[in-house]
Amino acid sequence: MPIRLHESLSRTQRELQPAQPDGVFRFYNCGPTVYAPAHIGNFRTFVVNDVIRRLLELEFGPDKVKHVRNLTDVDDRTIGQTQKEKRPLAEITKKWTGLFHADCAALNCLRPHHEPTATGYIKEQVSMIEVLMEKGNAYRAADGSVYFKVSSFEDYGALSRIKERELKVTNMVADSDHKDAVSDFALWKAWKPEEDGDVKWPGPRGAGAGRPGWHIECSAMSKALLGDTIDLHTGGVDLLFPHHENEIAQSQCCNGTQFAHHWYHSEHLLVDGTTMSKSKGNYYTLGDLLAKGYSAMVVRYALLMMGHPRKQLNFTLDSLHTAESSLTRLRTFRSALAAKAGAVQAQPSGRFKAVLDALRDDLNTPWAQGELFGDINLWKPEGQTAQHAAEDLAAFDQILFALGLDVTATTEPPKPAAPAAITALADQRWAAKQAKDWAGADALRKELTAAGWSMLDSKDSYRLEPLKK
RNA sequence: GGCGCGGUAGCCAAGUGGUAAGGCCGAGCUCUGCAAAAGCUCUAUCGGCGGUUCGAUUCCGCCCCGCGCCUCCA
């Protein structure tokens, strides 16, 4: 069964297929701006894209997928941060890039094959801008900036179906600058010493020094690393307009050919029913959630499995509890399977096939979850030979690979140690239990519970865990 | 004003023109001094009103409610 994915331009589901004769699937995913820690909304998109990458590898083979995800390391926000911190741009972007990589690794996202930075591709961007100027699709403004002339591209608006007169009037006033038309967008932004500090590069022929606009970077990096036409271009819905609309305009006018065969956009994450923002106090980074005691794998599960990627997902801390319980069941199930299989190695059985099919059907993760637990519920250890169990284990592991869920790693954060007062109570209860003083033991358990601790007995020892918040 | 999305059990969430997957939580039972873990079982008629149809949660129309986006935010 081929992978079918919703396509934003046609608004239909289309099969994913490599178009080039080399059979390599070319996949570009718009990456983060590295000026602050990425928040979990960002990571929903990256986790979803990671599953696309994994499905593509399963479908076409690991060496037949070329996945590019950029880092935006120069734009208004990164530069704004240099001004705020009075530190060089590279220092700031390096710091946040490092954290982004760490978060991605914790969330078990595969590294893209290329991770270009905007500042690493200035020449490529400049040269595209020059071509656009030569072709009459771009013009130099009075201040030395270069703008794309939207009216020169007939198909503009095809992706977002937005017409310039439909844009909110208030936004049109604010951004007058030196443009010929309000909908024209910057390809190159002239250097403003008071705002940009020392961030500048030599501009395209006929323009001043400055820096590239945001949109051109993706066009240039995609062209440089994947060629003029790619198989799939993805990002969050917010990028649909203007970012992707503008990329299409730039790339197609410059290259004279179709830019992307397939556009895919994942929906936004909401937190507590509304847009996440620092002022609302519902803004979470991965670090924030780890600090609350959740594992990154639980976060991945919640971001991926608890809602369809093309529907807004309302994230709550409660959903992390759900995810945690679900993930624990997966872990338990795998242990049972592995125990039964022993050392036997085998090819995947047909079990869990429906899970993969659900993913191939427009990344329907909730459906996949249904199939997954449905199959787990049907599994019975009785009558299973080690061979069968090994086959089922191989099939299960394939599903875990596709979803990027690592249940074998001990990703659980260490439980905090109990304070001395609690351990003392626990010891007392243990003693009471050994003396078969059930009433005393129960009373002590109640005390522990009241203090927020749970005492888990085993044959000849016990451990203490804090009760769930 | 424009573009778009959603309203399915306590919560989350798939899905189908013929009487609703799954997860979480909860309850009962088994097991176990208790608790935990594990296992079994149970829990909805799909926002409202019309229409089409033998039959609609699923198609059409209207209405109500909630939400997102609209130039540099994944």
Q: ipTM value of the model?
A: 0.93
Nucleic acid strand B: bases within 7 A of protein CB: 1-6, 11-15, 21-25, 33-40, 66-74
A178 and A145 Cβ atoms separated by less than 8 Å: yes
Hits for CB < 7 Å against strand B across A residues 152-181:
160-164, 166-168, 171-172, 175
Given a cut of 70, the residues of chain A with pLDDT beneath it are 163-177, 409-415, 468-469
Across all strands, nucleotide nearest A145 (CA–C1'): B72
Q: How far: A353 CA to B19 C1' (Å)? A: 29
Q: Supply the CATH classification number for the domain A311-403.
A: 1.20.120
Q: Tokens 């240039």 belong to which residue?
A: A220
pLDDT recorded at residue A277: 79
| A60-110 pLDDT, tens digit each | 999 999 999 999 999 999 999 999 999 999 999 999 999 999 999 999 999
Task: Indicate if CB(A365) is under 7 A from strand B.
Answer: no
Six-digit token string for A162: 């937005």
Q: Which residues contact A225 (CB under 8 A, 6 or more apart)?
A: A66, A68, A114, A116
Question: How many angstroms separate the Cα of A280 from the Cα of each of A317, A348, A469?
Answer: 15, 47, 22
Q: What is the residue type of A49?
A: N
d(CA A245, CA A263): 11
pLDDT recorded at residue A460: 81
Question: How many angstroms separate the Cα of A462 from the Cα of each of A67, A216, A433, A458?
Answer: 48, 60, 11, 6
Q: Which residues contact A254 (CB under 8 A, 6 or more apart)?
A: A128, A131, A132, A135, A137, A219, A223
pLDDT recorded at residue A177: 61
Would you kindly state where each structural domain of chain A is located, as residue ranges? 4-266, 311-403, 420-466
Q: How far: A303 CA to B71 C1' (Å)? A: 28
Q: How far: A441 CA to B34 C1' (Å)? A: 8
Task: Indicate if CB(A238) is under 7 A from strand B.
Answer: yes
Q: Which residue is nearest to nucleotide B69 (CA to C1')?
A: A238
d(CA A236, CA A29): 9
Task: Indicate if CB(A75) is under 7 A from strand B.
Answer: yes
A199 and A91 Cβ atoms separated by less than 8 Å: no
pLDDT recorded at residue A179: 82
pLDDT recorded at residue A175: 46
Task: Indicate if CB(A425) is under 7 A from strand B.
Answer: no
β partners of residue A313: A269
pLDDT recorded at residue A34: 94
| A406-462 pLDDT, tens digit each | 988 654 555 677 888 899 999 999 999 999 898 899 889 888 888 888 888 887 888
A105 and A61 Cβ atoms separated by less than 8 Å: no
* CATH superfamily of this structure's domain A4-266: HUPs (3.40.50.620)
